[in-house]
Every structure is written in C-alpha cells, then in structure tokens.
Amino acid sequence: MTKQLLAGEVALVTGAAGDLGAVFARALAEAGASVVLADLNGSKAETEAEELQNEGLQAFGVAMDVTSEESVADAFERSMSRFGTVTILVNAAALMKEIPTMDPLALDLTWWNRVMDVNLTGPLRTIRAAVPHMQALGRGKIVNVSSGGAFIPSGVYGVSKLGLVSLTTSLAKQLGSSGINVNALAPGHMNTSSGHEARHHDDALVAALSHAVALKTLGEAKDLVGGLLFLCSSQSDWVTGQTLSIDGGWIMRL
Ligand SMILES: NC(=O)c1ccc[n+]([C@@H]2O[C@H](COP(=O)([O-])OP(=O)(O)OC[C@H]3O[C@@H](n4cnc5c(N)ncnc54)[C@H](O)[C@@H]3O)[C@@H](O)[C@H]2O)c1
C-alpha cells in the first residue's frame, strides 16, 4: 500500500488490540498515518503499538474504555499530546464473542445493556470526543465497524450493529457541512479467532456459512483493508452515510 495515501493523518482506532482492530491499525500506519491504538486491554494495545514502532511506523498505545466518557476523554487527551490532532476515527471496539447468547428473550438484561453500551453508545462517545478536533480542522473521516449481522436476525448483536448503521447515517447528515465523512464497514464471516470463538468453533457451521456466501469462503482480515483505506482517505471524499459490506457476497441489499 502506498505510504503517501494517509501521510500527515492521525488515526485513532478503538478495539485495536483485537483481531481486526490490530490489522486496521497496522494498515493505517503502513499507509502513512500516525496511529493511536486504543483498547480496554491497554497493555495489548501498547504491545501492538511497539511492534509498529519497531518497524519505524508512528504508533502509540493507550488504554480506553469506550463505556466511560472519562476514559475516552483521557485517552484523547493523551493522543492529542502525542500527535496533536485526530483526523481519522475507526470504531472497532465491540462485544461479540463474549456475548453469552444473542437471543433477546433469554439474554440477561444486564448483558443487553452492556452490549448496547459498548457496541452502540461506545462509538457515540468516541465520536463526540473526536468531532471538535475534526471541526477545528474542517475535515475528518469516521468509520464505524458494523457487521453483516446487522442485516439478518442476529439478536442483541445485530440490534447493536444495525443501531450503529443508523447512527452513522444521522451523524453523516449532521457533520457533512463540517467536512466530516461518517461511514460504516460491515464485515461478513471472518476467519479470525474472535469469529471462530463467536461461532463456538463449530466446523459444520463454518462450512454452512461459507457455502451461503457467493464467493464460498470466510474472509481474512486483510480482505477488509482496501475498503477501510478507501473510507479513511481522500478517495472517499464524496462518500458519506454509507455502509460498505465486505463479506464475500453474503448480504446483498438492493
Ligand atoms: N471477527 C469477525 O468475525 C467480525 C465480523 C463482523 C464484524 N466484526 C466487528 O469487527 C470489530 C472488530 O472485531 P474483532 O474480530 O477484532 O473482535 P475482537 O473481540 O478480537 O476485538 C474486540 C476488541 O474490542 C475491545 N473492547 C471490548 N470492550 C471494550 C471497551 N469497553 N472499550 C474499549 N475496547 C473494548 C476488546 O478488548 C478487543 O480487543 C467489532 O466491531 C466486531 O463486531 C467482527
């Protein structure tokens, strides 16, 4: 990937210690951005950032709990003192594999509220923290990581991820005049350890899911990178409020 694509940009990625978040952070850094890797697991975020630093890339790891306004503000403050601004925000932090059951009728409501707090209100908290900085610059790119699960019945997870699609459109409408693009990415079934855990390592299920998509395979994290870089770069300057499905041809919306 050309290093010029995101030269001079500063990206903050939440969930950057996760299977996809770490790949997203690396891709943004390799494209020339300075990257803040933020995660509830601050030590893993720092380790991931150190790996990038060792390769001469600009990266910084920070602990951030997206369910706490205070923690989000603190992480943004630390990012600002390190890199001075934020021009790209990627919201990848979420609960998925941890959710005991997706069934709204069976799920304890404490869990229901926790999923909404992390997967839906979490991105809103980070967006609220990022927007003043982007407005001061008159530009910015926000990418919310939703899921193909938003568009099929998939319980609490799907509700949270469809909510994120809706939030994306509302904020795109509101922030367009500030030069801020707000889009979402909807990955499909991924060949990641988190994806396998969420599917309870059920090989028969994996075979059925792969068969159900047009391209007949699960996706690799690298398959999402082109779409991510598109939505984070000037190449998508006239694209906002959209959800880009990258899923091997699983969800086909007309
Ligand atoms: N992997 C898949 O199969 C798949 C498919 C579709 C969509 N997605 C979405 O992609 C994104 C990344 O998924 P992943 O596979 O990397 O998952 P993952 O479980 O590997 O990573 C999620 C990360 O979020 C962090 N996190 C959890 N709660 C947090 C909080 N309160 N504050 C800050 N960080 C918190 C975790 O520590 C973890 O590092 C998620 O939004 C997920 O819903 C994943």
Question: What CATH number is given to the structural domain containing 72?
Answer: 3.40.50.720
Does ligand 1 lie within 6 Å of residue 127's CB atom?
Answer: no
Our mutation pick for probing the ligand 1 site, out of 20, 102, 165, 200, counting the most ligand atoms within 8 A of Cβ, is: 20
- Does 161 map to a domain? yes
The domain total for the chain is 1
Helix/strand/coil for 35: strand
What is the Cα gyration radius of the chain?
Answer: 17
Let me know if residue 250 belongs to a domain: no
How large is the angle between the packed helices 42-54 and 19-30, nearest 10 degrees? 30
Mean pLDDT of 230-247: 98
**Residue 249 domain-assigned?**
no
User: Is 125 part of a structural domain of the chain?
Assistant: yes
| Closest ligand 1 atom, residue 195 Cα | 3
Q: Is 68 close to ligand 1, i.e. is its CB under 6 Å away? A: no
Domain annotation covers residue 254: no
126 domain-assigned = yes
Question: 111 pLDDT band (50/70/90 cuts)?
Answer: very high
Average pLDDT over residues 195-216: 94
SS3 content of the chain, % helix, strand, coil (to 5): 50, 15, 35
Q: What is the DSSP string of 152-213?
A: S--HHHHHHHHHHHHHHHHHHHHHGGGTEEEEEEEE-SB-SHHHHHHTTT-HHHHHHHHHHS
- Per-residue pLDDT of 154-178, as tens digits, reads 999 999 999 999 999 999 999 999 9
Which pLDDT band holds residue 190 (cuts at 50, 70, 90)? very high
From CA 162, how far away is CA 5, in angstroms rounded?
A: 30
pLDDT confidence bin for 1, thresholds 50/70/90: low
The answer to whether the CB of 37 is under 6 A from ligand 1 is no
Distance CA 13, CA 28 (A): 9
Task: With respect to residue 39, please indicate whether it lies within any of the assigned structural domains.
Answer: yes
Is residue 3 a part of any domain in this protein?
A: no
Average pLDDT, the chain: 97
- pTM score: 0.98
Predicted confidence at residue 2, as pLDDT, reads 55
Catalytic-residue membership of 157? yes
Domain that residue 223 falls in: 10-244
pLDDT band at 3 (very low <50, low <70, confident <90, very high): low
The confidence score (pLDDT) of residue 226 equals 98
